Amino acid sequence: MGRVTRRHPVQHLESSTSRRRLETLAVEEPLEIRINGEPLLVTMRTPGDDIDLVHGLLLSESVVRLRSDVAGARYCDGAGRDGRNTYNVLDVRLAGHMMPPLPELRRKVLMTSACGICGTTTIEQVLSASAFRLPAMVTIPPDVVLNAPDQLRSRQRGFDQTGGLHAAGLLSTDGALICVREDVGRHNAVDKVVGWALREERLPLANSILVVSGRASFELTQKAVLAGIPLLAAVSAPSSLAVDLAHQAGLTLVGFVRGQTMNIYTHPERIRNPAVRTSI
């Protein structure tokens, strides 16, 4: 299996001194995904939890909805210069009742780790593709949301070594950390978490919170909606389209969760008894 990190020599400058030293880098490698032996797409990712990644990605692309839609997934033979398997080609076999993806979804393109591979580009398409209705009656204590980034940060082992990995985590509504995944791509980290939940037959994630280490993009919001997650918490800002999608989908979107402060952009009724002071 490919390593998550590797060492690289750098010239380190500090004040008036300079010295050579080894730094730890986050590994970024391509993963070719095949469906029933046919190439679907290539994405860049950090090796590890690839099976989770592919399940989450196929859910976000509306190729599958349940664990039973997938008959199996395995690495294909693919040797590097050293003759060893690169573990960079993964073939997913769909269950017999599943139709293969439409030809237009077979995008044989190299995607960068900063960009997702969502085919859904409009709010209406996301809402129509969602198999789960977000629960309106779920309420979450404010402290659970405020503590979520710290809980996530405590499990970011790859980031501790490299400073170059995003993270996503699932928490229960009472604050218990359930699953954490890291990747060079923030969308991959979320796909790994959601894919894990799909494989564990936990969907819809109606009693869960998704916390991400960076900003909340439209794409990450989409993935939360499709997984049936009622609340998305981000350390940084959301985009305008993420806010629009969250509003229409019924998702509580929270940004700038830092210390004892946060901004609730949509559906604040899920945050239990927040102190409200209007100064606008």
Look at the block and give the residue holding tokens 């002071």. Answer: 277
Question: Two tokens at 209?
Answer: 């919170």
76 is catalytic: no
Strands 89-94 vs 29-35: parallel, antiparallel or unpaired: parallel
CA distance 28 to 25: 9
Q: List the beta strands (DSSP E) in the chain.
A: 5-14, 17-26, 29-35, 38-45, 70-75, 89-94, 166-172, 177-183, 208-212, 231-234, 252-258, 261-266
Contacting residues for 156 by C-beta, under 8 A, at least 6 apart: 165, 167, 180, 182, 213
With contact defined as beta carbons under 8 Å apart, do 130 and 249 qualify?
yes
The alpha carbon of residue 106 and the mean position of all alpha carbons in its chain are separated, in whole angstroms, by 21
Cβ proximity of 56 and 223 under 8 Å: yes
Question: Which of 76, 115, 118, 179 is flagged as catalytic?
Answer: 115
DSSP string, 215-264: -B-HHHHHHHHHTT-SEEEESSPBPHHHHHHHHHHT-EEEEEEETTEEEE
Map residue 143 onto helix, strand or coil.
helix
Task: Tell me the three state secondary structure of residue 72.
Answer: strand
Catalytic residues: 115
